[in-house]
Chain A
Amino acid sequence: MQTDISKVDEIVMRYGRRKENLLAMLLDCQEEFYYLPKEALEEISKQTGTPFVKVLHAATFFRAFSLKPVGKYPIHVCMGTACHVKGAPRLLEAFERELQIKKGETTKDNLFSIETVNCLGCCGLAPVVTVGKDVHGKLRQANVSRIIKKYRSREGSDA
């Protein structure tokens, strides 16, 4: 996939090329591309005068960033304490079984990827999973395949 450098340019300019806004630039890039392409990191390094290794350090230090492309519908399984005691680890395994991928991987059709997050802060709805921007609360394993089907049929590729 070709990275649109002009978008990176726009993001860097948004923060006036200031070094201390590195984190904000990376967050905006992640939002734009759904991951951090190497070209984007290089461009940020060049434009802000930050050594590339330092940009990479930040990109790998924080959980919010991914160096690999994620699916169109990234699935985030909440692993907060409330979700944990309500069975989040088994729910994660149910998603892994349903999609035949492991945490950190993306399905072959690039539709789904699975990640875990520490806490989404809606513990009243535990266990919680987000798919894209949608929040699914009080989930049971039996709901998993229906949820996946819903997104697949939205894509018209219900295979």
Chain B
Amino acid sequence: MAYRSHILLCSGTGCVSCGAFTLKETLKTELQKRNLQDEIQVVTTGCQGFCAEGPIMIVQPDGIFYCQVKPSDVPTIVEEHFIKGRPVKKLLYTGAAKATPIPALKDIPFFAKQQLVVLRNRGLVDPDKIEDYIAVDGYSALSKALTEMKPEAIIAEIKRSGLRGRGGGGFPAGIKWETCRKAYLQRNVEPVVICNADEGDPGAYMDRSIIESDPHAVLEGMAIAAYAIGAKEGFIYIRHEYPLARQRLLNAIEQAKEYGLLGENILNTNFSFNIEIVQGAGAFVCGESTALMASLEGEVGEPRAKYIHTVEYGYKNRPSNLNNVETYANVPLIILRGSDWFASMGTGDPRENPWNGSSGTKVFSLVGKVNNTGLIEVPMGISLREIIFDIGGGIPKGKKFKAVQTGGPSGGCLPESKLDMPVDFDSLTEAGSMMGSGGMIVMDEETCMVDVARYFISFLTEESCGKCTPCREGLRTMLDILNRICEGKGKEEDIAFLEEMGEVMQDCCLCALGTSAPNPVLSTIEYFKNEYLEHIKNHKCPGGVCKELITYVIDKNKCDGCHACTKVCSSNAIKGEAKKLHSIDTTKCIKCGACIEVCTKDAIYKE
């Protein structure tokens, strides 16, 4: 039966949290009530990326984009859009400036500059239906690999494409596969293929979104890797915080088995491959390869020294190929369209040497103090400015940009002067940050850089497994000093000490968690030293974050005595009669900031 229109309803975690499933039921009921159920189909899709505007839906074939849709809007949508044939203006995207509504998805700046490779199927396929994936050429790369290509040819193709590890390290996937296959042939021990979906970086959710919108792409990529390396067994190690993603993977594996695309004798060849899903339990360090494999074996996730690489002796001492979700999701398209196509995107020419440049695209989660938060995919080499100001739409409320943090706790903060830098593996590392898995957190003038450094160090102090001394003790010492600086008790020599400690950790820690841990501190000292000095010398916090160094004040000229602040003040520190100027009793004020949140006149500020 042909439908005249399709409603593509986003069901990524962001939109589900905002009530996407309730919306789906309401839509179905309303369509039935109007007897339109045979004309208009409601399809739930994976994450469409524009998470800040959820729940979102796209109506095809016109490509009309509706955002922040509530169940109470449904009758209007059905009446106006589907019966009278005109878009519902109030649900169209307008942008932060509340300008003219933009009806079509392709015209919205957030989407216009993106280039979708990994997320090519987002919003197009129902992640719970393998038929949808097959209809968009799904599993044809696997079929091509199995029937037309030798394992060595696949590895050569991946190497030539310049695909580098999307989990953060940027190690060329082709070289890893080659080493793994070599180890297997030399030792004659069956290798395993592992997918790292333990996305631990705070402020990053690329992998979750890829799995939720297109789980079969990950499975297909893993199957191709397994065939190329010679593995029969695969694992996906996924965080337990991602129940929806896990459910979609389980469902996808089940369906792929039914279709003979996983399991024994795939596509009637003698290649067999099975995937098992293993859940993590909330330990950041388990994203590290040796810790992840220890955890797979049922041990606690503590890393070991990597004199011997896991690609040769990994899970149960078998050759183990570990790649990230996004890396695997790139594989099917490289096989289908060829390495030249992939290498043509991004920077450098990796065809002779995969280390030469960064090819392809990268998925980022653009979050923090930016107007358009969400998941984006851009070609490597795009500038930070294009990402933050063109796609992200700039900083909310006309505030000033201060820094962008990339690479999670292992990365660093980059200032305005670095905004025109190209985004690729090598440029970011050179600037003192790193690509990481793709979290990009934008910070405005109201963010304190010392506090941000303290935040990451406190995160890492909790997540350090404690096995090696430089990491365990180094982080604790750094945290003590940063706490002191934030409380206004810092000493000038603290900065030099932090730098020295950072260098020691870079040299001596056992695993990448420790060696990269000083990055947030070192990069903020490099680019925002004056903020450290303000805290230490003048006992001021320029961002207005560090409680001990700020006081809340009411602006005499702006306060109209509306009482909004007195109602939320939990310590009764704000006094004043109705319609008259209020004042804050600083001895009672606990500096929670609830008053600023509710003041509509911008009459409260920090100094």
Contact = CB atoms under 8 A, between A and B. Distances in A.
Nearest to A82: B367
Contacts, number: 152
Given A19-B298, A81-B203, A124 B14 contact: yes
Interface stretch (A1-9, A104-112, A114-122, A149-157): A114-122
B592 A61 contact: no
Interface residues on B, range: 35 or more
Interface residues on A, range: 35 or more
B459 interface: yes
A85 B452 contact: yes
Nearest to B598: A142
B282 A123 contact: no
B395 to A, nearest CB: 12
A121 B241 contact: yes
A122 B51 contact: yes
A135 B19 CA distance: 10
B592 A141 contact: yes
Interface stretch (B100-108, B161-169, B175-183, B368-376): B368-376
Contact of B369 (A27, A86, A140, A142): A86
The DSSP consensus for interface residues of chain A is: helix
A124 B373 contact: yes
B203 A80 contact: yes
Interface in A76-97: 79-82, 84-87, 90, 93-94, 97
Given A62-B281, A63-B282, A97-B570, A121 B205 contact: yes
Interface in B272-301: 278-284, 295-298, 300-301
Contacts of B405: 81
A67 interface: no
Given A57-B300, A58-B300, A81-B368, A121 B242 contact: yes
Interface in A18-33: 18-24, 26-27
Given A125-B17, A142-B597, A85 B205 contact: no
B523 to A, nearest CB: 14
Nearest to A121: B205
A79 B278 CA distance: 25
Contacts of B58: none
Interface in A46-67: 57-58, 61-65
Contacts of B201: 119
Interface string A120-159: 1111111010000001010011100000000000000000
Contacts of B447: 85
A61 B291 CA distance: 12
